[in-house]
Amino acid sequence: MYYFAYCTWLHDIEVSRFMPEAKPVTKAYAANHALRFHAAGDRTDRGWCHFLNTADAWGERAYGVVFEHDETHFQEDYDDFERCCMTVYGEDGKQYDCWTYRLIRPGIAMRPPNFYWEHIPAGMKQWNFSPEYIAKVQAVFDNAAECPRADRPNPSKVPGKGADTR
């Protein structure tokens, strides 16, 4: 089974916390998708990554990495997120049917806390994403509302399923 990491899970530290046995396959992109930052629903405490696939993403590409993993991870639920499936186009010339998480009800455009955000540019650099794409993601982040408690610490070294432990 293939997971498409497009946000914090691009960073080795994060993917190893959530899917320690996952194996990277290739860098890839999802056509007509875009990375955005939103609060979850009506909440205004912080932003999260969102995998946008509405008409606003038409013509865009969300870049990420395909990971192969045990199918039990497909059954893991996280507050405010749902699974979605898509075909991505690998740097290796192959297509992969993948899944990922996205917000169920994206709220206002809002930045995530610093501890969360820091994994995104670190992961993109780790995977040698283009400077243009990194700048584009930075601009999306900069244009979102500030996180009310951007400097809050990571609430848990061991990720939980609830929003309060992530």
CATH number at residue 87: 3.10.490.10
Is 165 part of a structural domain of the chain? no
Please report, as a single letter, which amino acid is at residue 61. R
pLDDT tens string 7-60: 999 999 999 988 899 999 999 999 999 999 999 999 999 999 999 999 999 999
Is 35 part of a structural domain of the chain? yes
Distance from C-alpha of 26 to C-alpha of 8, rounded to nearest angstrom: 17
Tell me the sheet residues that pair with 38. Answer: 48, 109
Helix pair angle (119-126, 131-143), 10° resolution: 170
Helix, strand, or coil here: 2? strand
Is 79 part of a structural domain of the chain? yes
DSSP E strands, 32-121: 34-40, 48-52, 61-68, 81-90, 95-103, 106-109
User: Above pLDDT 70, what percent of the chain?
Assistant: 93
Is 162 part of a structural domain of the chain? no
Is 163 part of a structural domain of the chain? no
Tell me which residue range forms the domain holding 45: 2-151
Task: Using the structure block, give the residue that is written with the tokens 């865009």.
Answer: 60
Q: Say whether pLDDT at 164 is over 70.
A: no
59: left (phi over 0), alpha (psi -120 to 50) or beta: left
pLDDT at 166: 47
Is 157 part of a structural domain of the chain? no
pTM (2 d.p.): 0.91
Is 73 part of a structural domain of the chain? yes
Is 159 part of a structural domain of the chain? no
Q: Say whether pLDDT at 78 is over 70.
A: yes
Number of domains the chain is built from: 1
